[in-house]
Structure 1
């Protein structure tokens, strides 16, 4: 939530969250946060900051500010998680979550492009094995609990609804400018935001190897079956095309009433 309480954003990992956070910071302060917005300890309210929690809770329950979130196609989101979090070296110079990658190499036979993530490897085979691991974490919570970067978007979005919140807007990463502009048009901010002048803050870019194939090459029949098992609510609620992994764009409008009804249980 911005310090001015102009807007509340439910963060969803791998869905333009760094850019949205910086836009919110800029709208209050007239400048961007110097560094990764996820590291900011002041200048905005965050659930991870203890003194922010009662402020956010009060606002969300009373619906005092415009509340929004941003979602993404499950196919491209899980691929992005694989290349960034599994194959990539993180900004602290180490592998994501310490022993996670060695565990995946040992238990699932995944390759990640060597110690630096730069060597060639069979991306398609390794990704499909990673997807099996994702399914195991989400379905069976083994060999570990699901990670926020690949757990379903509906689960992230739903926590706000379950705790008494209500969304005014939900938009797609794939049509970011349209959706973010709609949010900015609906609020008053201490500093005006010219969206066309805002850079993209892709904090994960460059962490891992580049994707060598089109999206659809990574998903065979079995992979798509796993994707439906894991992400069927995301495909249905946020109107993404399950049948065609090559189509990252939504195929219908998001129904906010349906989202609240289905995620409010």
Structure 2
């Protein structure tokens, strides 16, 4: 892919995007100097190729690809430079792979090491500079590695961090339900609820409060899916500290140290 788009000589990078990057939509139409600069830049084709990679085997670039895809209708020079940065990260990590492992016989399973799905969810409140919408992120583990992941801008503006996390939880709950149905179809029916880990105490409390719907009247009804699944015993919400939430990598551009930490947690490693 890098050679196809003449990106094989970019500078190698430690992260998919510059930490805390805040891109915005370009003016439409572009200024003449920007239009001339961008006229031969295959922005959409490059981002599309990167998207194929992140869907299949590269959860570590999921946020970056989704973020850059927001600007493909009218990209400017700053967006192209961000694409080149991501290409540099891909160049530096070409040998990354996901390894799934069978746990030792008789060992006590940690979360996500067996065939029981285990999920993490997060949200970056109002992170989009153009729309002030939040970004939802989630990932599910089985056999010691990620099996499904998502990074997506939310379809509506959340009025608080708790609401953004709650909306993210609804999306993660839908994915958990699909996973459980799929496993049942292949004769791997699971016993007990899927554990979803979140780091926002207000959102977790709202999901676990099965009585007072007045607390969430302002949240659109379709996002109460998670509360229903918790009531039915299909999902168990667990509060964790922010520093324990791997879903952070799906909602924002992180520093090199933190990004590397979550890459290891995801089970991505260099091919031996």
Per chain length, whose mean CA-contact separation is higher, i.e. which structure has more relative contact order (CA < 8 Å, sep 6+)?
A: 1
- Is TM-score (shorter-chain normalized) higher than 0.5? no
Indicate the structure with greater helix content. 1
Normalising by the residue count of structure 2, what TM-score does the alignment of the two structures yield?
0.26
Name whichever structure is richer in strand by fraction: 2
Larger radius of gyration: 2
